[in-house]
Structure 1
Amino acid sequence: MHVQIVLFDGFDPLDAIAPYEVLYAGGMAEAGAMTVELVSAEGPREVVSGTGGLALRATAALDPGRPGLVLVPGASGRSGEPGEVPDQEAGDAGHTGEWRQDEFIPVLLARTLTTELPRLLKAAMDNPDVTVATVCGGSLVPAMAGLLEGRHATTHHLGLDLLDATGAHAVRARVVDDGDLVTGAGVTSGLDLALHLLEREIGPQVAHAVEELFAYERRGTVWRNQGPAPSPL
């Protein structure tokens, strides 16, 4: 299985690197079972994160026709107000990395809507051989593009109201598995999400081996839209 982790200007490094390391380790534990690469909507380039100007290199363009996983991280910067509606025009600097490093996270996420990323994500979500995964605010990228209407998803707790406002069913859970859409909540949930994907796509023994390698145990229950709804507790 091939994993494409999408970088965009202002991305959160931990959202991308934590799943990268987990999924790459899974591929090493079961040789050939999983490969991972960093991509962008624009193709190979240096992509500047929202954390202190740290940059990572995307080595290819996002290919929505390639079977496997597409993972979208969130952004890092100033958190803004919970439920704040982002200004999509604010400070648009293309993909040169020339934005202010202290910009609000909703602005950084909304700027992706002016790129090719929403179109590519729609093509990926329309592909039955692709599962789209997101970490933290990454779910707001397809949500604000109108791609998560009626779907169950999660995001950072400060963005749950905004996620709900896009027509998605926001779930307050660490990882939400909605079939071909798997979303993680806060930034460190990228570890939990990636381990869940390893277990789901390769098997529990490989996921357990990677847990042991990183000395990390998954947190929380993976939420699925299955079984009876609980009564108020």
Structure 2
Amino acid sequence: MDVQIVLYEGFDELDAIGPFEVFANATRAGGDLPPTLVTLDERDTVTASHGLRVGVDGVLSDPDLLVVPGGGWNDRSTAGAWSQVEQGDLPDAVARVAETDALVTSVCTGGMVLAHAGVLDGRPAVTHRGALDDLREFDVEVREERVVDDGDVVTAGGVTSGIDLALHLVERFAGADVAEQVTTEMEWERGSERTE
């Protein structure tokens, strides 16, 4: 399975790196979920919201599973999800991916990118609690769980819930045993998840 985590200037580090580590560990444990870090344009690195510079593997193509991290939404940062929505390129790219057979997911305020892409219309979803009122402005059934699975769209709440989202997907695609191995290796206590 081609797992792509799309990065942009100002993304929240843990939103992307938490799921990356879960998927990488799951692949080492026998799952087929190797993650790659991608951007919308050719570049070598991206600078995250707390200053971490991250290397990039390539450009967003046609993933089987897309992860959209958040960051910079609640403070309307000039770099981050808010800025990406204002520019429009990332929501457009997410909408294109959603038109394929890909599973589209978000962590934290990456859910706002999905909302602006029209991916969450008429669906249950969650985002960071600081952006729930913004999400309510869309045709979305707003939930306040850590993970909301609506089949081909899965959203997660605040920052650390990205780890739960990735573990949920590992269990869905690689089985409970692989998810348990990853949970044990990472010493992670899974949050309560809500699935539809």
- Provide the TM-score with structure 2 as the length reference: 0.93
Partner of 2:159: 187
Amino acid at match of 2:40: A
SS, match of residue 46 in structure 2: strand
Give distance in 2, aligned partners of 1:74 and 1:49. 10
8 Å contact 1:173–1:223 — kept in the other structure? no
Give distance in 2, aligned partners of 1:55 and 1:192. 24
Partner of 2:5: 5
Give distance in 2, aligned partners of 1:169 and 1:37. 31
Give distance in 2, aligned partners of 1:42 and 1:209. 35
Shift in Å, 1:144: 2.1
SS, match of residue 165 in structure 1: coil
RMSD, aligned α-carbons = 1.7
Larger Rg: 1
Give distance in 1, aligned partners of 2:173 and 2:194. 15
1:97-155 Cα distance to aligned partner (Å, 9 max, x none): xxxxxxx3597323213153222211111112x10111101110121233321121100
Shift in Å, 1:217: 1.9
1:69 counterpart (65, 70, 75)? 65
Shift in Å, 1:57: 1.8
- Structure 1: stretches of 5+ with no match in the other structure: 81-103, 225-233
Give distance in 2, aligned partners of 1:76 and 1:111. 8
8 Å contact 2:94–2:117 — kept in the other structure? no
1:22-59 Cα distance to aligned partner (Å, 9 max, x none): 0110001006x1211000111333111111x2111222
SS, match of residue 140 in structure 1: helix
Give distance in 1, aligned partners of 2:77 and 2:150. 25
Partner of 1:40: 39
- Provide the TM-score with structure 1 as the length reference: 0.79
The percent of aligned pairs where both chains have the same amino acid is 38
Give distance in 1, aligned partners of 2:193 and 2:4. 25
**Are 1:214 and 2:190 counterparts?**
no
8 Å contact 1:143–1:149 — kept in the other structure? yes
* Map 1:131-210 → 2, pairs under 5 A: 131-210=103-182
SS, match of residue 133 in structure 1: strand
8 Å contact 1:42–1:116 — kept in the other structure? no
8 Å contact 2:72–2:79 — kept in the other structure? no
**Cα distance change of structure 1 residues 19 and 186 upon mapping to structure 2, 3 Å threshold:** same
8 Å contact 2:10–2:79 — kept in the other structure? no
Give distance in 2, aligned partners of 1:46 and 1:8. 10
Give distance in 1, aligned partners of 2:65 and 2:117. 19
Give distance in 1, aligned partners of 2:145 and 2:195. 6
Amino acid at match of 1:123: R
Partner of 1:87: none
- Structure 2: stretches of 5+ with no match in the other structure: none
Shift in Å, 1:61: 0.7
Aligned residues between the structures: 195
Amino acid at match of 1:160: L
